[in-house]
Amino acid sequence: MTPTPHVSVEPTQLGPASISLKPVVGGLSSPIGVSSAPGDPRLFVIGQTGQIVVVSDGAITGTFLDISSRISCCGERGLLGLAFHPHFAANGRFFVRYTDKAGDIRISEFNVGVDPTQADASSEKILLTIPHPSFANHNGGRIAFGPDGYLYIGTGDGGSGGDPNNHGQSLSTMLGKMLRIDVDATSPGKPYAVPATNPFAGQTGKLGEIFAYGLRNPYSFSFDRLSGDLWIGDVGQDLWEEVDRAFASEGGGNGLDYGWSVMEGNHCYKPSSGCGTAGLTAPLAEYAHGSNDSNGCAIIGGYVYRGSAHPELYGRYFFGDECSGHVWDVTAAGPSSQTPQLLLSSGLNIDGWGEDVSGELYVVAADGGLYELA
**Residue 296: closest CA among 348, 245, 339:** 348
The mean per-residue pLDDT over the stretch 179-190 comes to: 97
135 SS3 class:
coil
Other CB atoms within 10 A of residue 61 CB: 13
Q: What is the pLDDT of residue 293?
A: 83
8-state DSSP, 246: E
CB 274 within 8 A of CB 261: no
**E-strand stretches of 228-295:** 230-234, 240-246, 263-264, 267-268, 285-288
139 SS3 class:
coil
CB 275 within 8 A of CB 264: no
Q: What is the pLDDT of residue 4?
A: 37
- Angstrom distance (rounded) from CA 139 to CA 80: 9
8-state DSSP, 293: G
pLDDT by residue (tens digit) across 146-176?
Answer: 999 999 999 999 999 999 999 999 999 999 9
CB 178 within 8 A of CB 152: yes
- The residues, ordered by sequence, that sit 6+ positions from 148 with a Cβ below 8 Å of its Cβ are 195, 252
- Angstrom distance (rounded) from CA 154 to CA 73: 19
pLDDT by residue (tens digit) across 218-242?
Answer: 999 999 999 999 999 999 999 999 9
pLDDT by residue (tens digit) across 37-91?
Answer: 999 999 999 999 999 999 999 999 999 999 999 999 999 999 999 999 999 999 9
- Angstrom distance (rounded) from CA 139 to CA 363: 21
Burial of 300 (0-12, 13-18, 19+ CB in 10 A): buried
pLDDT by residue (tens digit) across 86-142?
Answer: 999 999 999 999 999 999 999 999 999 999 899 999 999 999 999 998 899 999 999
Burial of 134 (0-12, 13-18, 19+ CB in 10 A): exposed
Cross-strand pairs, 352: 364
- Angstrom distance (rounded) from CA 150 to CA 134: 30
- Angstrom distance (rounded) from CA 342 to CA 183: 39
pTM of the model: 0.95
Q: What is the pLDDT of residue 16?
A: 56
CB 217 within 8 A of CB 177: no
**Residue 88: closest CA among 33, 142, 24, 44:** 44
Q: What is the pLDDT of residue 292?
A: 80
Inform me whether the pLDDT recorded for 2 exceeds 90.
no
pLDDT by residue (tens digit) across 239-292?
Answer: 999 999 999 999 999 999 999 999 999 999 999 999 999 999 999 999 999 878
Q: What is the pLDDT of residue 6?
A: 33
292 SS3 class:
helix
DSSP-derived pairing of the beta strands 43-47 and 51-56? antiparallel
- Angstrom distance (rounded) from CA 187 to CA 207: 13
pLDDT by residue (tens digit) across 286-323?
Answer: 999 987 888 999 999 999 999 999 999 999 999 999 99
Q: What is the pLDDT of residue 5?
A: 34
Cross-strand pairs, 311: none
pLDDT confidence tier of residue 9, bands split at 50, 70 and 90: very low
Domains in the chain and their CATH numbers? 21-373 (2.120.10.30)
Q: What is the pLDDT of residue 88?
A: 97
The mean per-residue pLDDT over the stretch 355-368 comes to: 98
